[in-house]
Every structure is written in C-alpha cells, then in structure tokens.
C-alpha cells in the first residue's frame, strides 16, 4: 500500500542544512496498522508529511496504492492523490468558526459535493465516532478527545485508502488515548483501512500496531512485528523506548538481593549460581517452564523479578531467575530454554 524508497529530506536551518531523513526505505502492507516511533527530533513528523507529500522529499520516491505520487506536479492529479490519504493531527486543526458537522463536511465541500451528498456522508461518520449528539457544537464547546474524534471523522470524509496519525494522542490523557486508539483499531478492522501511527509512546504501539519501525536521527534502525520487537529489541534506541513497558535494567533493590544470592551460592558445595534473564512470548508463555526446569535438570530456582503483559491478546513477559545447580545441568537448562523459544541472557554479575 505504501512504499518509501531512499527517502531523504534536507532543510535549510539557521546554521546550515539539516538532514531530517537519511535514506528511509519502508513498506506498509494494505490493511495494516503500522507504527513509526522515535524520540523528539528523530524525523517522525518529516516522514509523515513526506508520505502525504505535504513536504516533497529532497530525494527518493513515495508510492501509495502503486502510484508514484512524487512524480505528480502540483495540480488536479496531486490533489486527487492526496484525497486518498487522510490525516489526523496532534492539535486537531479544527476551524473554530465551524460546527462539528461543518468541520467534518469541509473536505467534501472543497471537493465540490452537493449538500445531499455531504449529509449522506457526514451523518454516518458522526455516528461512527460517537458525536451525533454534538453535531451543532463548536470546537470550544467539546473536550480534547471529542475534538480528536472530529478530526478522525474529517480525515475519513473522502473515503481515503490510507489514514496517517501524527502524534494524534500525545495531547490526551491516558483514558482518552485508549478510547481514541480503540476507535482507530475499529476503523482498521471494519474498513480494512491502512493506518500509519506516528508516535513517541511505545504504549500506543503496544495497543494497536501490527508492525513497528524505530526511527533515530532520520534513519530506520529497527523494524518488525510488534511482538518480536518488544521481546527481542536489537537496537539501543528501541531498548530505551521500551524501558517504561519492559524495563531493560533490574531495579537496584533487586540487584542487592541477587548479590546476596550469588554470595550464598558460592558456599554451596558442588553447585553454581547463575542469574538468568528470560524473555518469552506467545506459546512459550503458557508452558510450565520453571517447574519443568526443576524436574528435568534438578535446579533450585528463585524468581527475583518479573513482569507479564499482553500485546493485542498475545502474552509476553520477562523474568529474572536465580538458578542453582551443577554446571552441566545449568548449561543444559539454558539450551533447553532456547530450544523451546525462550530468549535467555546469562548474567554473571549484578
């Protein structure tokens, strides 16, 4: 549905050229919710504005539904292509002088549709986003979450094939954020609409995205299925962004207990102590892993830290386990864990 090929974006800044995007290649399949995440200044807004061609890339090509829109000059063909792309903005961008109904109707008016055609389109959209009762209110009379629902309805007015969300929930409270993301998930599911989420919040990616790309300093440093990226992050930027959801470092209070366990294990004749960091997801989450290790390899196990969560109904989590046993049995246990799909880090010091 969306193909970005060698996208570069360079701006003239006060102190010279600024490279916002540096050779971005990206593919977003039709019907997918695709997340693009990065810190402030990573190039996220530049990227989303390039997809919609609000900013033309300095170099590279943007394909939407098989059409190279970067080859289009300003004019009717480009305007028609842009109508295939709906856009939701962080700060809503509603016209304060127009009612909820009229804000949603605006793209249809600009496209030259009749009053009857506009009414037939706008009313179902207001029902979809739960704002039928507020159709005659003005933006100043509704909440932030309701304003964003107006923005979503307006973005859907022209029946786009792609919906771009540029930090659409970052100005909202957590409860409202969950409801807006739930609405986007419903739209994707019911209409098969391709949704691209630009965000700096991994919680947003976790709730609705199927795949994710991590942007850092204008480059994509990691991408893949959300479950894979959450449980097997490869790049330091990804690990940092994940830290609020899946902590990458153990708390100091836990480390103190681990040091005591390690010290005690040295005095146990014939046995060794090993700290294991286990990451698991999907089917591996439902297996009796720890009890199996105890029976199969004769290990003593102490759980020192852990967290279990879900991504769209699929469990994932991590455990820090202190294992005591013979050297060969410990090695065999680690090999067994890896064989059944559990990611294992062997930590020899705390």
Q: What percent of the chain has pLDDT over 70?
A: 93
Mean pLDDT of the chain, nearest integer:
88
Is residue 294 within 8 A of residue 324, CB to CB? The reply is no
Cα separation of 71 and 217, whole Å?
26
Q: Sorting pLDDT into bands at 50, 70 and 90, what band is 350?
A: very low
Between residues 324 and 99, the one the model is more confident about: 99
What are the structural domain ranges in the chain?
A: 2-241, 252-347
pLDDT in tens, 208-221: 999 999 999 999 99
Tokens 């299925």, residue located: 225
Cα separation of 166 and 173, whole Å?
16
Q: Sorting pLDDT into bands at 50, 70 and 90, what band is 91?
A: confident
CATH superfamily, region 2-241:
P-loop containing nucleotide triphosphate hydrolases (3.40.50.300)
pLDDT in tens, 281-292: 766 666 788 888
Query: Could you write out the DSSP letters of every residue in 155-186?
Result: HHTT--SEEEEESTTTTS-HHHHHHHHHHHHH
pLDDT of residue 14: 84
The single-letter DSSP state of residue 288 is -
pLDDT of residue 348: 63
Q: Is 125 exposed, middle or buried (0-12, 13-18, 19+ CB in 10 A)?
A: buried
pLDDT of residue 61: 94
pLDDT in tens, 107-143: 999 989 999 999 999 999 999 999 999 999 999 999 9
Q: What is the mean pLDDT of residues 333-345?
A: 88
Q: What percent of the chain has pLDDT over 90?
A: 55
Residue 39 has pLDDT above 80, yes or no: yes
* Number of other residues whose CB lies within 10 A of the CB of residue 293: 24
Between residues 240 and 316, the one the model is more confident about: 240
Q: Sorting pLDDT into bands at 50, 70 and 90, what band is 85?
A: very high
pLDDT of residue 87: 93
Pick the CATH number of 252-347 from 3.40.190.80, 3.40.630.30, 3.30.70.260, 3.40.50.360: 3.30.70.260
pLDDT in tens, 3-28: 999 999 998 878 888 899 999 999 99
pLDDT in tens, 228-282: 888 888 899 998 888 877 766 666 777 777 777 666 655 555 577 888 888 877 6
């Amino acid at each position: 549905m969306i193909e970005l090929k060698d996208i570069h974006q360079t701006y003239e800044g006060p102190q010279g050229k600024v490279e916002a995007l540096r050779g971005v290649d990206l593919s977003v399949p039709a019907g997918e919710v695709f997340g693009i995440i990065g810190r402030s200044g990573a190039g996220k807004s530049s990227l989303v504005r390039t997809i919609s061609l609000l900013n033309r890339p300095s170099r590279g090509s943007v394909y939407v539904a098989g059409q190279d829109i970067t080859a289009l000059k300003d004019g009717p063909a480009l305007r028609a292509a842009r109508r295939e792309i709906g856009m939701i903005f962080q700060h809503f961008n509603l016209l304060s002088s127009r009612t909820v109904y009229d804000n949603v109707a605006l793209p249809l008016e600009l496209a030259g549709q009749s009053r009857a055609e506009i009414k037939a389109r706008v009313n179902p959209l207001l029902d979809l986003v739960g704002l039928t009762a507020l159709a005659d209110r003005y933006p100043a009379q509704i909440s932030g979450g309701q304003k964003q629902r107006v923005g979503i309805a307006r973005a859907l007015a022209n029946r786009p094939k792609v919906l771009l969300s540029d930090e659409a929930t970052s100005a909202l409270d957590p409860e409202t954020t969950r409801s807006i993301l739930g609405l986007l998930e419903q739209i994707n599911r019911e209409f098969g609409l391709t949704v691209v989420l630009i965000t700096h919040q991994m919680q947003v990616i976790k709730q609705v995205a199927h795949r994710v790309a991590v942007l850092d300093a204008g480059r994509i440093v990691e991408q893949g299925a959300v479950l894979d990226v959450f449980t097997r992050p490869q790049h330091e930027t990804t690990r940092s962004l994940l830290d609020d959801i899946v902590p990458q470092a153990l708390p100091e209070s836990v480390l103190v207990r681990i040091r005591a366990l390690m010290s005690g294990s040295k005095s146990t004749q014939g046995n060794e102590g090993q700290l294991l960091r286990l990451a698991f997801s999907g089917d591996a989450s439902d297996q009796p892993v720890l009890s199996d290790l105890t029976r199969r390899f004769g290990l003593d196990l102490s759980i020192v830290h852990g967290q279990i969560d879900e991504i769209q109904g699929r469990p994932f989590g991590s455990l820090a386990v202190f294992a005591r046993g013979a050297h060969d049995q410990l090695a065999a246990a680690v090999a067994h864990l890896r064989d059944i799909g559990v990611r294992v880090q062997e930590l020899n010091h705390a």
